[in-house]
Amino acid sequence: MAVSQGLAAAPDFPTSAGAVVSWIEDHHAELLAHADGETVTEFAGANAPSCAAG
């Protein structure tokens, strides 16, 4: 899981952290089922922009 927050005077870290927690909860069984040394073929990412609305 890769997370990108963006640059801002006040980044919205709670939003990006919440996205990561939700993703881990949704994929918990899959993560535990992954065998050591098994090739990872899927990747996930979350972008939480910190720009002004509009």
Q: Encode pLDDT of 41-50 as tens digits.
A: 888 888 887 7
* Threshold 0.95, pTM exceeds: no
Digit-by-digit pLDDT tens for the chain (54 residues) are 888 887 888 888 888 899 899 999 999 998 888 888 888 888 888 888 777 666
What separation in angstroms does the CA of 6 have from each of 37, 38, 54? 33, 32, 16
* Residues 24 and 1: beta-carbon distance below 8 Å: yes
